[in-house]
Amino acid sequence: MAPTFSGRRTPLHGWLAADAVSLTGTKVSMVALPWFVLVTTGSPTRTGLVALAEMLPMVVLKVLGGPLIDRLGARRVTVGCDLGSTVVVGTIPLLHHTGHLTFGLFLGIVAVAGALRGPGDAAKNALIPAIAEHARVPMERVTGLGGAVERTSSMLGAAAAGLLIAAVGPANALVVDAASFLVSALLLLGSTTGLPRSRRAEVPDGEPEPYLRQLHEGWRFLRGDRVLFGIAVMVALTNLLDLAWASVLLPVWARDNGGGAPAVGLVFAVWAGASAVGALCAAAWADRLSRYRTYLVAFLLTGLPRFVLFALGVPLWVIVAFSLVGGFASGFLNPVLGAVIFERIPEPLVGRVSSLTTAMCFALMPLGGLLGGVLVAGLGLSWAMLAVGVAYFLVTMLPAVDPRWREMDRRPAPAQEPVSA
């Protein structure tokens, strides 16, 4: 007998709730961890080492964990990583309060946390195709709702982090992050039991395909799909440029224009809020829009104009007004690109190819701050803004001259409902 309407949507609702809880906790951690290092060591250098210790294993394990996701199943991997993260992150405040947390041990714990987060996040994303099929909703709706949850949770998590750190200190704030992983695991366990198990990658004799062969097959598929590979390269470059803007160019602009940290917070908050609204609209409408045209229009609005306005030194109210427009347009991008990515990957390869794609997207992010610093030092703020804006325009507008990117509009045929006798 076919599942009821509510039953079909249960995995979707559970996945969204788990993602909201997990992302909120992660945002708390992103603020609390560096603040914890600063207040306990007073060293910006050690703070940077902690960020590297978390980011590097996260990216590496996103790559290496893909075959395990396909072999064990995305649900098992994401629940297992969430449970492991509960224990690992929870040891930081425990060891701190008992006086056993050395800096070397702290770096090791953060590295393990990053190593768990890499495959855990990748596996959570790898559930999207099965969830969309089970719920019988367009892929854009699932990715759009996920994008709205991501941006809203990030905004709320940052605000919660500030309040928690002020109230209980950064070490105790990490307890919230540990608890969020446990709640996420329980929500996924309870809501996704109805999802069909993914098909395992096997060789003809029925044995699981060797790990290295699985990894190579995922890379070969990604490299051979011009659109998928292009999306990964494009997002990697835009993430690099966005990090240069967010970590260096925007703070320098706020300092030089007298707005200070409140101006930075205002721009981020308005942009994130408008982006969340855009993602919700994408969830409702994107399945009826041309993905190719939506991509081009959204990047035209969210890319070069932003940097030009900052370079011209316009008043803060103009920046905030544009953040509403640019943020709203940016909310359509992840739902559209996510739908394209998952629809182009065969079901047995979802784990390894989506992990490789995400790892490529993250690969250049640690260099963003360095790029921003070099540009400001060498060119000055205004010319650095323009240089990043022009690079952003060139990277994102390549699809306008490459006809193969029009394949973004190719959608799979809708599944047919079984006919009752």
pLDDT, tens digit only, all 421 positions of the chain? 334 444 678 888 888 899 889 888 887 777 677 777 767 777 656 766 776 777 788 888 887 877 788 788 888 899 999 999 999 999 999 999 888 888 889 889 989 998 998 888 888 888 888 888 888 887 778 877 887 888 788 777 767 776 787 788 888 888 888 999 999 999 998 888 877 665 544 444 556 667 778 777 888 888 888 888 988 899 999 988 987 887 678 777 877 876 666 777 678 778 888 888 888 888 788 778 888 898 899 999 998 999 999 998 888 889 989 989 999 999 888 888 888 888 888 877 877 787 788 888 888 877 776 788 788 888 888 899 999 999 999 999 988 888 888 888 887 655 444 444 3
Q: For residues 200 and 71, what is the distance between their CA atoms, to the nearest angstrom?
A: 5
DSSP secondary structure string, 1-50? -PPPHHHHHHHHHHHHHHHHHHHHHHHHHHHHHHHHHHHHH--HHHHHHH
Q: What are phi and psi of 136, to 5 degrees?
A: 60, 50
To 5 degrees, how large is the angle CA 352–CA 355–CA 358? 150
Q: For residues 222 and 196, what is the distance between their CA atoms, to the nearest angstrom?
A: 25
Residue 47 near residue 37 (C-beta atoms within 8 A): yes
Rg (CA), the chain: 22
Q: For residues 277 and 17, what is the distance between their CA atoms, to the nearest angstrom?
A: 18
Helix, strand, coil shares of the chain, percent, nearest 5, are: 85, 0, 15
For residue 234 the two structure tokens come to: 């494009």
pLDDT at 207: 60
For residue 95 the two structure tokens come to: 């060891």
Q: Measured between alpha carbons, how far is residue 97 from residues 39, 47, 402, 408 in Å?
A: 15, 20, 57, 52
DSSP, collapsed to helix, strand or coil, labels residue 202 as: strand
Residue 164 near residue 176 (C-beta atoms within 8 A): yes
List, in sequence order, every residue forming a beta bridge with 202; answer none if it has no partner.
Answer: 208
For residue 408 the two structure tokens come to: 């973004």
Token pair 């990490």: residue: 174
For residue 172 the two structure tokens come to: 């105790």
Q: Measured between alpha carbons, how far is residue 10 from residues 224, 282, 410 in Å?
A: 35, 21, 28
Q: Measured between alpha carbons, how far is residue 216 from residues 42, 211, 212, 321, 387 in Å?
A: 44, 9, 6, 47, 37
Q: What are phi and psi of 63, to 5 degrees?
A: -70, -50
DSSP secondary structure string, 84-104? HHHHHHHHHHHHHHTT---HH
pLDDT at 417: 46
Q: For residues 202 and 209, what is the distance between their CA atoms, to the nearest angstrom?
A: 5
DSSP 366: G
DSSP 204: T
DSSP 208: B
For residue 175 the two structure tokens come to: 């307890």
CATH numbers and ranges of domains, the chain: 1-190 (1.20.1250.20), 214-410 (1.20.1250.20)
Q: For residues 384 and 253, what is the distance between their CA atoms, to the nearest angstrom?
A: 11
pLDDT at 390: 95
Q: For residues 400 and 392, what is the distance between their CA atoms, to the nearest angstrom?
A: 14
Residue 170 near residue 36 (C-beta atoms within 8 A): yes
Q: What are phi and psi of 413, to 5 degrees?
A: -65, 140
Alpha helical stretches, state H, 286-363: 291-302, 304-312, 316-330, 333-344, 350-362
For residue 143 the two structure tokens come to: 């990715």
